[in-house]
Amino acid sequence: MKKYLLTFIIALIIGFFLSNFFLKQYDAYEGIKVANKGDTLYFIQYGVFSTLESLEENTISLQNYVYSKQDNLYYVYVGITELKENAEKIVNYYKNIGNETIIKEYGITNKNFLGLLENYDTVLKNTNDETAISSIINQVLVKYEEVVISGG
């Protein structure tokens, strides 16, 4: 009996340290924090850059953006939406102002951001005004930085 109790205690200690290690790895991650499970969002990707300096040089003309670092590459996103038709609207908006973008899908579980995004998506769905579209895109990116990236 003592033999099993000692094995059980050692397994608990090892499990605690491993879970602590993995949680710290996630907190230190510099990229966009997404999850495989959750609601699917459409991120409008502006480009991929090999250095932070290159990213900064090529995004001067953008009003707002978020980026993630994955595999030593910097991915720049200029729009986020939950609706496919809004993703297409954002892509067309950027195309009209001379920027090529593509749509990427990611899962996200942050319920606070998803609640905010639902409201913005409703307004975006019902407008074709370029000024309103630009404003909504920027507000969503600001909220994403505040709620998801900064954890506020």
Domain ranges of the chain: 1-30, 39-149
Q: For the chain, what is the radius of gyration of the CA atoms?
A: 20
Rounded CA separation 76/101 (Å): 10
Q: Which residues of the chain have pLDDT under 70?
A: 1-3, 8, 11-12, 15-38, 152
Quick one: fold of 39-149? Alpha-Beta Plaits (3.30.70)
Give the pairing type, strands 102-108 and 39-49: antiparallel
Helix residue ranges per DSSP H, the chain: 2-28, 52-58, 84-96, 111-125, 130-144
Tokens of 144: 């994403």
